[in-house]
Structure 1
Amino acid sequence: MPVRKKYNLSYTQISTLSFLGIILCGTLLLMLPISSREGEITPFINAFFTATSATCVTGLVVYDTYQYFSTFGQIVILLLIQIGGLGFMTIATLFSLMLRRKIGLKERGFLKESVSTIQLGGVVRLTKHILIGTLMIEGLGALLLTLRFIPEQGFGRGLYYGIFHAVSAFCNAGFDLMGCYEPYSSLTRYSSDFLVNGVIMSLIVIGGIGFLVWEDIYKHHFKISKYQLHTKIVLVTTGALIGGAAILFYIMERNNTLVGMSPLETILVTLFQVITPRTAGFNTIDTAAITESTSLLTIVLMMIGGSPGSTAGGIKSTTLVVLLLSFIASLRHSEDLNIFGRRLEHDIAQRAHGVITIYLMGAVMAAMTICFLQPLPLTDVFFEVFSAIGTVGMSKGITRDLTSLSRLIIILLMFCGRVGSLSFALAFVSKKTYVPVRQPVEKITIG
């Protein structure tokens, strides 16, 4: 009698396969003639690229979303963005709750990993709050955006534009429909518009700080002393990155892209261009026109990204803080990583180093390969690569010039960026290896 092999997949393996399945379904839908304005079949590689970019909430495009895709195709992209932003397990839990199905212990464990919470208890309640909070925040954002879009587009189309851009901004996707004015123009038309800039930036930041931070603020309101350590680190780091990067951006661009702008527009553009690299992908100025120093600043911001358990990508703000604390502890010859009166767990520095190592190795190898395949400027290639692996979506304009093989590399980077570079590597490891005998110690010299 044949023995049936039982497959016990880990969360990282299930998450990886789930995202891949969603991307493939989206690819097939985008290939249909009904998805394009001209009623033509979209080439597989381009549909695959678009579906990956939407599901991985990146925003890199080979076609202008408005100019090429029909309303059906745009709605497919919007659904992929929403599923990718919230995560497969969160969406699956929504249907389970609607069908009044019992959520077992294993499913709760997967949910815990999906929303990056620390405790298993209360994870279903947290998921409900995430779903309700997402609906409310996206709804409010859409309502505010329609105040600008309805007078320009009419009621039906203005409402649709408000919903599309609110979801895209909250999920840090960066897809837009502004091709109705000018292809690939993003939000440059609204660079001085306080309402559009304010709403989009707010949605990006709220989506990027993470669901755990929402829940903590919801429970304790403005009693900062009761916040979890995770929340304190995320809020302080987010504020410091935005403020510090804004000052640097203004210094670097005051004699370049900011020339001729009013004080209000200068402030809006400066803030927008340091918030959007935190994996959102919109832009209100021509990204190709920024200086080399600003390009490097943007790459650093894209690499950092948002926070754990959010719609954003990158190595995450908490990883950056752990790396900095590890550096400070090394200078002080201390083994402890201390912050806000607390000591971090012992192995967290090792995990942070693993994340940044895989992230940088993947980005450098991808950039080297693309440069070998195509004669493109090195800065533009690195910008594209970090934009992809950070699920940002900003580009110097070379996305449409990439060959099929180069696009496959960018697709892989976007996928790794969404599921997590470390998680993607762990997806190929079946189980943890236990070594019964440890090797003898011998010292080496570093630095």
Structure 2
Amino acid sequence: MRSKLLFSLDPPKVLVFGFGLIILLGTLLLTLPSATVDGRGLPLLDALFTATSATCVTGLVVVDTGDTFTKFGEMIILSMIQIGGLGFMSFATLLAFILGKRISFKERLIIQESLNNETVEGIVRLVKRIFLFTAVIEIAGGVILSMRFSQNMAAGKAIYYGFFHAISNFNNAGFDIMGGYKGLTAYTSDPIVNITMITLISFGGIGFIVMNELYEYRRTRRLSLHSKIVLSVSGILVFAGALMIFILEYKNPSTLKPMSMTGKMFGALYQAVTPRTAGSNTLNIPDLKQSTLFLIIFLMFIGASPGSTGGGIKTTTFAILLGAVKSQIRGREDVTFFGRRVDYSIISKALTVTLIALFLVGSITMVLTITEPGKDFLMLFFEAVSAFSTVGLSMGLTPELSSYGKILILITMFAGRVGPLTLAFAVARKRKETHYRHPAGKVMIG
């Protein structure tokens, strides 16, 4: 009965309620005494914050994951990361496969909405591919990290750490169990850990649609306009970001200056990749220069790509806006990429997503200045953008948040994960198609 009630709702409402139910279940489990090392369970608000951060694959934490939780608690967090990263509808579809049930058209529409896919055609096949890609990439990453960690810890612990961090980073969650809020700072110059983590984050961030097209490229010899934009913009942002971080932090004695040239290069590259909504870090974020922190805020706001495990306004949205600006400056009516014109409705959607995101981040930052008095503005702004873009990087503010601050940030994480447009559609009245147009009017701009 409840299932029928849930699936009778519009796809955006189903996604919002679905993620909400997972978060509530995770919250209850994290309050159990067996979930924490002290045997008391997490306080309700901290449990809700942690469950939201895990399900929304963010990584912001009010308590240190490695020091606070038992293996049971960590596995609850890891399960929420996996479900939140791939989407609860993908897991519902997998369960239907196992039980031999047919996927209805309404369910296909919900899956389409959750993956940001253009059409329902081939959506079930895509879900199957998603689980295949996820299994292969996470297992490969887990094995490599386990072998590397085994040089510093017992084999069993190394395997557990290896697979936990592989799953967390592929899903762009940013949770780590190293303890002491240290992140991966012990592996700043380690080529194996850096290359493996960067690969996991990058695959998780480009989106399953792009992964599927790359998988089929040997047969089709073609990539869609979407994939071309995602790959080109992602590459430019990563390498331009890495170069700028390298230059800005090169003489910073607290970050890159004491390192070898290899360490400097890996440190800069990792910090350029992780704002793509991964959240793990090999440099201590509070030690970065203000200029670098502002650059990271910019990269976080853009985020990953549609249909991925990451957040942000997305690389394609950023590209569309730049294309529109370029066309206006050159006096051209059409926005084009790779010889293809972008429909006006897509440009309008990109503008809507960006404005909603800016309004949300600006509002949350403003309210945080009230609930967290005495805190540096950049720290508050950094936290708000990190939460919205489901990144998980922090300048150290998260554990110090007041109760009101925690509630604000968890709401922001939730809005960022389901998407500002999806959330707006979910809370708005049912959309009605209009069969008329108002007379045109002129407005002065600029």
The TM-score, its normalising length taken from structure 2, stands at 0.96
In the other structure, the counterpart of 1:163 is: 163
Note if 1:220 corresponds to 2:217.
yes
After alignment, is 365-374 or 424-433 more displaced? 424-433
Shift of 1:110: 1.6
After alignment, is 387-396 or 333-342 more displaced? 333-342
In the other structure, the counterpart of 1:238 is: 234
Contact 2:7 2:14 in 1 (8 A): no
Aligned length: 439
Given the superposition, is the C-alpha separation of residues 271 and 97 from structure 1 closer, same or farther in structure 2, using an over 3 Å criterion?
same
| In 1: Cα distance, 2:413 partner to 2:99 partner | 33
Shift of 1:209: 0.2
Residue ranges of structure 2 left out of the alignment (5+ in a row):
none
In the other structure, the counterpart of 2:196 is: 199
Given the superposition, is the C-alpha separation of residues 152 and 406 from structure 1 closer, same or farther in structure 2, using an over 3 Å criterion?
same
Given the superposition, is the C-alpha separation of residues 40 and 260 from structure 1 closer, same or farther in structure 2, using an over 3 Å criterion?
same
After alignment, is 338-347 or 15-24 more displaced? 338-347
Structure 1 residues 35-67: Cα deviation after superposition (integer angstroms, max 9, x where no partner): 010101311110000000000000000010011
Q: Which one-letter code corresponds to 1:19 in the other structure?
A: F
In the other structure, the counterpart of 1:93 is: 93
Percent of matched pairs sharing the same residue: 44
Structure 1 residues 56-96: Cα deviation after superposition (integer angstroms, max 9, x where no partner): 00000001001111111000000000000000110111111
* Secondary structure at the counterpart of residue 184 of structure 1: coil
* Secondary structure at the counterpart of residue 160 of structure 1: helix
In the other structure, the counterpart of 1:413 is: 412
Given the superposition, is the C-alpha separation of residues 250 and 151 from structure 1 closer, same or farther in structure 2, using an over 3 Å criterion?
closer
After alignment, is 200-209 or 251-260 more displaced? 251-260
In the other structure, the counterpart of 1:143 is: 143
After alignment, is 149-158 or 387-396 more displaced? 149-158
Q: Which one-letter code corresponds to 2:329 in the other structure?
A: L
| In 1: Cα distance, 2:356 partner to 2:441 partner | 26
Note if 1:251 corresponds to 2:284.
no
| In 1: Cα distance, 2:413 partner to 2:383 partner | 11
Shift of 1:9: 1.1
Q: Which one-letter code corresponds to 1:93 in the other structure?
A: T
Note if 1:336 corresponds to 2:339.
no
Shift of 1:7: 8.3
| In 1: Cα distance, 2:154 partner to 2:439 partner | 74
Note if 1:41 corresponds to 2:41.
yes
Given the superposition, is the C-alpha separation of residues 333 and 260 from structure 1 closer, same or farther in structure 2, using an over 3 Å criterion?
same
Shift of 1:326: 0.7
Note if 1:398 corresponds to 2:397.
yes
Alignment equivalent of 1:277, drawn from 271, 275, 278: 275
Shift of 1:6: 11
Alignment equivalent of 2:225, drawn from 224, 229, 246: 229
Shift of 1:430: 3.6
In the other structure, the counterpart of 1:24 is: 24
Q: Which one-letter code corresponds to 1:60 in the other structure?
A: L
Given the superposition, is the C-alpha separation of residues 327 and 368 from structure 1 closer, same or farther in structure 2, using an over 3 Å criterion?
same
In the other structure, the counterpart of 1:124 is: 124
Given the superposition, is the C-alpha separation of residues 104 and 223 from structure 1 closer, same or farther in structure 2, using an over 3 Å criterion?
closer
Contact 2:6 2:14 in 1 (8 A): no
Contact 2:7 2:107 in 1 (8 A): no
Note if 1:74 corresponds to 2:74.
yes
The TM-score, its normalising length taken from structure 1, stands at 0.96
| In 2: Cα distance, 1:216 partner to 1:231 partner | 8
* Secondary structure at the counterpart of residue 282 of structure 2: coil
After alignment, is 20-29 or 111-120 more displaced? 111-120
| In 2: Cα distance, 1:99 partner to 1:150 partner | 39
In the other structure, the counterpart of 1:428 is: 427
Shift of 1:441: 3.0
Given the superposition, is the C-alpha separation of residues 49 and 361 from structure 1 closer, same or farther in structure 2, using an over 3 Å criterion?
same
| In 1: Cα distance, 2:309 partner to 2:219 partner | 24
Structure 1 residues 150-201: Cα deviation after superposition (integer angstroms, max 9, x where no partner): 232212211111110000010000000100xxx0000000111111111111
* Secondary structure at the counterpart of residue 338 of structure 1: strand
Shift of 1:434: 3.7
Given the superposition, is the C-alpha separation of residues 6 and 19 from structure 1 closer, same or farther in structure 2, using an over 3 Å criterion?
closer
Given the superposition, is the C-alpha separation of residues 163 and 7 from structure 1 closer, same or farther in structure 2, using an over 3 Å criterion?
closer
Contact 2:59 2:279 in 1 (8 A): yes
Q: Which one-letter code corresponds to 2:153 in the other structure?
A: Q
| In 2: Cα distance, 1:108 partner to 1:435 partner | 26
Shift of 1:332: 2.4
In the other structure, the counterpart of 1:154 is: 154
Contact 2:148 2:193 in 1 (8 A): yes
In the other structure, the counterpart of 2:315 is: 317
1:240-389, aligned counterparts within 5 Å? 240-256=236-252, 257-375=255-373, 376-389=375-388
Q: Which one-letter code corresponds to 1:245 in the other structure?
A: G
| In 1: Cα distance, 2:172 partner to 2:190 partner | 20
Q: Which one-letter code corresponds to 1:302 in the other structure?
A: M
Shift of 1:148: 1.4
Residue ranges of structure 1 left out of the alignment (5+ in a row):
none
In the other structure, the counterpart of 1:65 is: 65
| In 1: Cα distance, 2:352 partner to 2:120 partner | 25
* Secondary structure at the counterpart of residue 216 of structure 2: helix
* Secondary structure at the counterpart of residue 100 of structure 2: coil
| In 2: Cα distance, 1:377 partner to 1:146 partner | 39
Contact 2:7 2:106 in 1 (8 A): no
